[in-house]
A and B are shown apart, each in its own frame.
Chain A
Amino acid sequence: MTAASDQPLPVVPTPDAADEPNRELKAIAAKDYEWGFVTDIESETIPPGLDEDTVRFISAKKGEPEWLLQWRLEALARWRTMTEPTWAFVKYPPIDYQAIRYYAAPKSAADKPKSLDEVDPELLATYEKLGIPLKEQALLAGVAVDAVFDSVSVATTFKDKLASMGIIFCSFSEAVREHPELVKRYLGSVVPTSDNYFAALNSAVFSDGSFVYVPKGVRCPMELSTYFRINAADTGQFERTLIVADEGAYVSYLEGCTAPKRDVNQLHAAVVELVALDGAEIKYSTVQNWYPGDKDGKGGIYNFVTKRGACRGHKSKISWTQVETGSAITWKYPSCILQGDDSVGEFYSVALTNNHQQADTGTKMIHIGRNTRSTIVSKGISAGRSQNTYRGLVRMLPGAVGARNYSQCDSLLIGDRCGAHTFPYIDVRHPSARVEHEASTSKIGEDQIFYLQQRGLATEDAVNMIVNGFCKEVFRELPMEFAVEAQKLLGISLEGTVG
């Protein structure tokens, strides 16, 4: 992602940019799933299975206070009363939750490295392969990386600089130790333990994740970035992220994912909570590239994620941008609760599915406060035999005087064996609220491809160019280096879809 310092400028098709997408894409399109290597580090794991003892083990392992253990146990109790949701337009064999291993940590993490020098060299080599700029590259790129390897954070950079501004950016475990009052105040306040099946599961067994707090009036000077990576086989990954922007604060957070190649399905059930107080703004960008399974639909990640932001304060703003190219199954609806008057919610999404991938993704915009505004731009691209669903809810509650929403959902089909589906739910309970919804479905045209070929472009480059053009409104919301990554991923994911 951010190792892009030596690469050309971003390749979003803009008039004057030094853009050269296809040369780069072409080289990459020839590659297989590039990040499918496995690091040999002995994991400290517990046997598969989930009961109260599992939860107690995880909590004890992390040295958590009693209140958090109780919170987890409550979540577990809730989860046991719930049933797995079946409304999403996805199909998968039943998951045996007792066959999953709920904790794994690289052994070297027990030593709690204080600096990069103390980190397992093999781990660092893995990061190198992934192109994570932990050292000087990071400095040049202006990105602080809180790298999560399996379940334990091993290194956090730029802490000092951020700390001098009062910004907290650390692993979730560390936040529990160092800032328990903040964690206690906000954890579960946006996504309660009882919210849904996967959120309850996550609440019971989450291992680690990231925590960000930006104090009053502070603009975080750099993009905060975290890499998530599943490594140990059969280990569910249960990340917990909590970001709080205090009054007038601003933060941009980047989440990027690459996972090693695996033959067995892996469950990923993360929870992300965002809280924006008066006048605060949070921008949350994701490029998701979990292993999607092979061409026959074997393997791949089940990505069942709950992401939600609360615009608690007056004039607060939360913006989600996601580029979803990976995972065998994606079940994900980054949402905004627009509670504060004049608050703003945004959702920009590109979801690309190929081969046998299934995605059911979208957003919820819950308008509570007066004059709240939301924008939804969703671009779904289906190729191969994949199924791609947009599912969105816009709800204007009785107090949402003068609230407005604009939704645009476009689907692009490549080939004739894939599916695109749109399920918009609209619920308006105040007469002054306005909701606009536009939707389109198009097939990538033979004439479009021919036109570009006639100008000298190879078929695959032509397809990439058309798809990137289709996604432009979303890509321009991404930070620059992420836009580069996103276009590369589309190129890789589209390989072999035409011609």
Chain B
Amino acid sequence: MLEIQGLSARVGEKPILEGLDLVVPTGEVHAVMGPNGSGKSTLAKVLAGHPSVEVTAGTVRYLGQDLLELDPEERAREGVFLAFQYPIEIPGVSNSTLLREGLNAVRAHRGEKPLDAMDFLKLARAHAAKLGMDPTMLGRSVNEGFSGGEKKRNEVLQMLVLEPRLAVLDETDSGLDIDALKVVASGVNALRSPERAFLVITHYQRLLDHIVPDVVHVLAGGRIVRTGDRSLALELEEKGYGWLDTTAGAAR
């Protein structure tokens, strides 16, 4: 589903990603772990098409297309979803308005009819309930005055409604207590399917207790330095990231 080859990218003048290779086959959940500043969030931004990141080399194929050629909204309509590390506040725009406009944009792209107000509300409420969210959240302004945990839940709610093919979760676990973490993980797990793939970016192993990955990658110094199964995450938990720098060459 996703094939990244030799990806280099910079933010301003500063190179962040330097020759990153990563393949995520359809149906799998891949975790990307790494120390702060290793380029995890930049990778997420490249995939979503954030204008602050400039790709300087490499290719990204998504479902056979050149992902980097697509505008951010085209990527979204093609099924690429990013759960933001820091969700943005949009004052005066209700959650349900954003969800509905987004969903109908995606549906229009697929050649489907827009959902009417009643069907949409039914759908949105059902998903909100799964995440233990009060239905009044739908009427509140997008992320405005939300707690950190509420914002993250809201990201997962959007994901459930939009049903992406490739979901990138950027540190969705940060700022969550254990109960919220479980709710968020159950939302993700509910969406796991042979047609979808997930890229779960996280600093900590604990999320992976709840969203069990098929493959774990370690990102350091702008490259994937190790790839392994779930036990790699546990190893990192035990040893920290410090030992990676010395063994970085071995992974390549």
Please list the residues of chain A having a beta carbon within 8 angstroms of any beta carbon in chain B: 13-23, 445-448, 450-459, 461, 465-466, 468-473
Q: Say whether B233 faces chain A, with CB atoms less than 8 Å apart.
A: no
Known: A450-B50, A450-B51. 17 other contacts (CB 8 A): A13-B93, A13-B94, A15-B140, A16-B117, A17-B117, A20-B100, A21-B97, A21-B101, A22-B101, A452-B90, A456-B109, A458-B73, A461-B101, A465-B98, A469-B91, A469-B93, A470-B92
Q: Say whether B15 faces chain A, with CB atoms less than 8 Å apart.
A: no
Which residues does chain A contribute within 8 Å of B49, judged by CB atoms? Answer: 453-454
Whether B93 lies near A468 (C-beta < 8 A) is: yes
Tell me whether A448 and B90 are in contact in the complex, defined as CB-CB below 8 angstroms, given that A453-B76, A457-B101, A457-B105 are known contacts: yes
Which residues does chain A contribute within 8 Å of B138, judged by CB atoms? Answer: 15
Which residues does chain B contribute within 8 Å of A471, judged by CB atoms? Answer: 92
Which residues does chain B contribute within 8 Å of A18, judged by CB atoms? Answer: 116-117
Whether A452 lies near B98 (C-beta < 8 A) is: yes
The CA of A19 and the CA of B82, in the complex, are separated in Å by 25
Whether B88 lies near A451 (C-beta < 8 A) is: yes
Sort A-B residue pairs by CB-CB distance and give the 7 closest, nearest first.
A15-B139, A469-B92, A455-B102, A456-B105, A469-B93, A472-B92, A18-B117
Q: Smallest distance from the beta carbon of A228 to chain B beta carbons, Å?
A: 30
Q: Smallest distance from the beta carbon of A466 to chain B beta carbons, Å?
A: 6
The CA of A87 and the CA of B50, in the complex, are separated in Å by 44
Interface residues of B in 35-94 (CB under 8 A from A): 48-52, 71-73, 75-77, 81-82, 84, 87-88, 90-94
Please list the residues of chain B having a beta carbon within 8 angstroms of any beta carbon in chain A: 48-52, 71-73, 75-77, 81-82, 84, 87-88, 90-106, 109, 114, 116-117, 121, 136, 138-141, 158, 162
Whether A451 lies near B87 (C-beta < 8 A) is: yes
Tell me whether A23 and B92 are in contact in the complex, defined as CB-CB below 8 angstroms, given that A15-B138, A450-B50, A465-B97 are known contacts: no
Q: Smallest distance from the beta carbon of A416 to chain B beta carbons, Å?
A: 16
Tell me whether A16 and B77 are in contact in the complex, defined as CB-CB below 8 angstroms, given that A457-B105, A465-B97 are known contacts: no
Which residues does chain B contribute within 8 Å of A447, judged by CB atoms? Answer: 88
Count, A-B residue pairs, CB within 8 A: 112
Whether A466 lies near B90 (C-beta < 8 A) is: yes
The CA of A468 and the CA of B101, in the complex, are separated in Å by 14
The CA of A461 and the CA of B97, in the complex, are separated in Å by 12
The CA of A263 and the CA of B91, in the complex, are separated in Å by 38
Which residues does chain A contribute within 8 Å of B158, judged by CB atoms? Answer: 455
Which residues does chain A contribute within 8 Å of B94, judged by CB atoms? Answer: 13-15
Whether B109 lies near A468 (C-beta < 8 A) is: no
The CA of A425 and the CA of B91, in the complex, are separated in Å by 27
Mind listing 17 A-B residue pairs with CB under 8 Å?
A13-B92, A13-B93, A14-B139, A16-B139, A20-B100, A20-B104, A451-B88, A452-B98, A452-B102, A453-B73, A453-B76, A454-B75, A455-B76, A456-B73, A457-B101, A457-B102, A461-B101
Q: Smallest distance from the beta carbon of A445 to chain B beta carbons, Å?
A: 7
The CA of A15 and the CA of B87, in the complex, are separated in Å by 20
Which residues does chain B contribute within 8 Å of A456, judged by CB atoms? Answer: 73, 76-77, 101-103, 105-106, 109, 162
Q: Smallest distance from the beta carbon of B178 to chain A beta carbons, Å?
A: 28
The CA of A244 and the CA of B109, in the complex, are separated in Å by 53
Nearest B residue to A459, CB-CB: B73
Which residues does chain B contribute within 8 Å of A458, judged by CB atoms? Answer: 73, 105
The CA of A468 and the CA of B88, in the complex, are separated in Å by 16
Whether B72 lies near A454 (C-beta < 8 A) is: yes
Q: Smallest distance from the beta carbon of A473 to chain B beta carbons, Å?
A: 7
Nearest A residue to B81, CB-CB: A454
Which residues does chain A contribute within 8 Å of B105, judged by CB atoms? Answer: 455-458, 461
Whether B98 lies near A446 (C-beta < 8 A) is: no
Identify which of A14, A23, A453 contacts B104 (C-beta below 8 A): A23
Q: Smallest distance from the beta carbon of B166 to chain A beta carbons, Å?
A: 13
The CA of A468 and the CA of B73, in the complex, are separated in Å by 20
Whether A453 lies near B139 (C-beta < 8 A) is: no
Which residues does chain A contribute within 8 Å of B77, judged by CB atoms? Answer: 456
The CA of A64 and the CA of B100, in the complex, are separated in Å by 58
The CA of A452 and the CA of B99, in the complex, are separated in Å by 10
The CA of A451 and the CA of B142, in the complex, are separated in Å by 11
Which residues does chain B contribute within 8 Å of A19, judged by CB atoms? Answer: 97, 100, 117
Identify which of B51, B73, B87 contacts A457 (C-beta below 8 A): B73
Which residues does chain A contribute within 8 Å of B104, judged by CB atoms? Answer: 20, 23
Q: Smallest distance from the beta carbon of B144 to chain A beta carbons, Å?
A: 9
Nearest B residue to A471, CB-CB: B92
Nearest A residue to B86, CB-CB: A447
Nearest B residue to A467, CB-CB: B92
The CA of A407 and the CA of B106, in the complex, are separated in Å by 40
Nearest B residue to A456, CB-CB: B105
Whether B92 lies near A468 (C-beta < 8 A) is: yes
Nearest B residue to A451, CB-CB: B88
The CA of A472 and the CA of B92, in the complex, are separated in Å by 6
The CA of A453 and the CA of B45, in the complex, are separated in Å by 13
Which residues does chain B contribute within 8 Å of A465, judged by CB atoms? Answer: 90, 93, 97-98, 101
Which residues does chain A contribute within 8 Å of B51, judged by CB atoms? Answer: 446, 450
Which residues does chain B contribute within 8 Å of A470, judged by CB atoms? Answer: 91-92
Whether B98 lies near A16 (C-beta < 8 A) is: no
The CA of A259 and the CA of B51, in the complex, are separated in Å by 40
Which residues does chain B contribute within 8 Å of A17, judged by CB atoms? Answer: 117
Q: Smallest distance from the beta carbon of A415 to chain B beta carbons, Å?
A: 15
Whether B90 lies near A469 (C-beta < 8 A) is: yes
The CA of A33 and the CA of B113, in the complex, are separated in Å by 30
Nearest A residue to B103, CB-CB: A456
Nearest A residue to B143, CB-CB: A451
Q: Smallest distance from the beta carbon of B171 to chain A beta carbons, Å?
A: 16
The CA of A457 and the CA of B76, in the complex, are separated in Å by 8
Which residues does chain A contribute within 8 Å of B71, judged by CB atoms? Answer: 453
The CA of A314 and the CA of B138, in the complex, are separated in Å by 41
The CA of A13 and the CA of B96, in the complex, are separated in Å by 9
The CA of A453 and the CA of B114, in the complex, are separated in Å by 18
Tell me whether A453 and B72 are in contact in the complex, defined as CB-CB below 8 angstroms, given that A14-B94, A470-B92 are known contacts: yes
The CA of A16 and the CA of B136, in the complex, are separated in Å by 10
Q: Smallest distance from the beta carbon of A456 to chain B beta carbons, Å?
A: 4
Which residues does chain B contribute within 8 Å of A445, judged by CB atoms? Answer: 88
